[in-house]
Amino acid sequence: MSPAKLGPDGRRGWIVPVGGAEEKISDQRILKRFAEIAGGADAVIAVIPTASELPDTGPRYQALFEELGAGEAYWLPFFDRADAENDGLVTQLERATGVFFTGGNQLRIATILGGTPVAKLVRRLSADGAIVGGTSAGAAILPEHMIAHGASGASPTAGMVQLSPGLGLTNRVVVDQHFRQRDRLGRLLTALAYNPFAIGLGLDEDTGAFIDPDAVLHVVGSGAVTVVDVSQLGHSSIADTPQGAPICMTNVRLHLLPHGATFDLHHRTATPPPG
């Protein structure tokens, strides 16, 4: 699945995967930054809580974005495929300058929204300049390739990860969330062994990767983004490695980027924080 065709001005909107457990009380810089990019006082933010099974998730994020200065925020109850075909709900989504997917289970988003008018509209909104982001499961769903399941551990092993289609807002990255907290380097490396074209983004909790329209990633939050670049991959044994055995990968580049650092996804260059 390729990203949607760009709108008239040729500028895709920001794409913002967040590693989960973003601060909602004392230092809300990730959600505040999202609201600012969506338009601040002119923002219209649609919250999509499809991944969650908690009834208060949508209202809670709506209240947060309103408190953080968004002109308007609302949540949309896409809880089954019939909801995603509801013309009234889809029309409400069309107004959004920002779309935010909450955490939960990314396969709920994929199976409920995949192939529906909602998924197609989110792709078009992104192509037309709206900011689209999500936290935890909502981050995993954003790219073309989504990590659906996987084991913990630092070493990549054959069969360690299962991939499925995501929303396809970008084909440049594969995202993994709760990265350092849940020891997920091995499963991200395994995913990249399957797909060496993409760049791996391992997002710590309370950390967002704000990808601007020029494909430059800006790190925001209290943790770090682990960027795994396999564009210079010398060898991968994934095709011949038995299930459960370690994978050999050579010439893998890795960057650890805290708040304020950037990474150019076009040129694959990292820049430390200023100062």
CATH 3.40.50.880 matches 15-262: yes
Q: Which of 136, 144, 218, 255 is catalytic?
A: 136
For each of the chain's 275 residues, which pLDDT tens digit applies?
Answer: 556 677 667 789 999 999 999 999 999 999 999 999 999 999 999 999 999 999 999 999 999 999 999 999 999 999 999 999 999 999 999 999 999 999 999 999 999 999 999 999 999 999 999 999 999 999 999 999 999 999 999 999 999 999 999 999 999 999 999 999 999 999 999 999 998 999 999 999 999 999 999 999 999 999 999 999 999 999 999 999 999 999 999 999 999 999 999 999 999 999 999 98
pLDDT for 10: 74
pLDDT for 270: 98
Q: Which of 208, 256, 261, 264 is nearest to 231 (CA)?
A: 264
Confirm whether 136 is a catalytic residue.
Answer: yes
pLDDT for 1: 52
pLDDT for 2: 56
Q: Which of 52, 205, 236, 255 is catalytic?
A: 205
Q: Which of 22, 144, 178, 255 is catalytic?
A: 178
Q: Indicate the domain borders of the chain.
A: 15-262
Confirm whether 72 is a catalytic residue.
Answer: no
pLDDT for 5: 72
